[in-house]
Amino acid sequence: MKRVILVTGTPCVGKTTTARALAENLGAVCINLTEFAKTRGLTLGEDRVRQTIIVDEEAMYKSLGESISAANTDIIIDGHYAAAVTPSELVTHVFVLRRNPIELKKEMQCCGFSATKIDENLSAEILDSCLIEALQNHPDKVCELDVSGQATEDIVDVILKVLNKDRNCSSGFVDWLDMLEREGLTDRYLRV
């Protein structure tokens, strides 16, 4: 049966890198939602303050449903809002990548994110935003993976084990808030 695999998580956790490596391994089609929105014109405009495109989520839901149904290989969908815009009856697996906020912040600084964007993304990671959205829309299909310090090939290896049922899925074990509290770093990382 065709698998429809979502790879979600806060911006900069490593979704695109992981999704592409996984697609290569599986011989699957990989859909990056930012590219998909742009090439298909599924945008409502631009949010200048937040420097992002505004996605027409309803149009994307429809368009993704059509693309998934038309495909005859496994499909990997990569995006931080993948769980919100993919029809749940078509989805088989949801991988939520988690990355330690200390590591994530360094990565975002290297990638040139603005200070506002860094704070926004760190809060989203610390408060489990993508995980919550995945669990709300696709209960029983969610696999949370702490990819902090992990090489892409090792992350792909774990995903393949889950897909082959050689490894169980679970979620709810990542607790960055607790980690930051213990390190006395909450105020530096969680700015809401």
Ligand X SMILES: Nc1ncnc2c1ncn2[C@@H]1O[C@H](COP(=O)(O)OP(=O)(O)O)[C@@H](O)[C@H]1O
Binding positions for Mg ion, rule: CB under 5 A: 15-16
**For residues 100 and 118, what is the distance between their CA atoms, to the nearest angstrom?**
14
Q: 89: which DSSP letter? A: T
Which member of 63, 67, 92, 150 binds ligand X (CB under 6 A)?
A: 150
Task: Tell me which stretch binds ligand X (CB under 6 A): 52-60, 85-93, 125-133, 146-154.
Answer: 146-154
Site string (16-35) toward ligand X, x via CB under 6 A: xx------------------
**Number of other CB atoms surrounding residue 112 within 10 Å:** 7
Alpha carbon of residue 178 to chain centroid:
22
Task: Tell me which stretch binds ligand X (CB under 6 A): 11-19, 42-50, 130-138, 179-187.
Answer: 11-19
Alpha carbon of residue 188 to chain centroid:
24
Site string (57-86) toward ligand X, x via CB under 6 A: ------------------------------
Q: How would you classify residue 9: left for phi > 0, otherwise alpha for psi between -120 and 50, otherwise beta?
A: left
- Determine, following the binding rule CB under 6 A, whether residue 151 of this chain makes contact with ligand X: yes
**For residues 121 and 102, what is the distance between their CA atoms, to the nearest angstrom?**
12
Residues at the contact surface with ligand X, assessed by CB under 6 A: 9, 11-17, 107, 111, 147, 150-152, 155
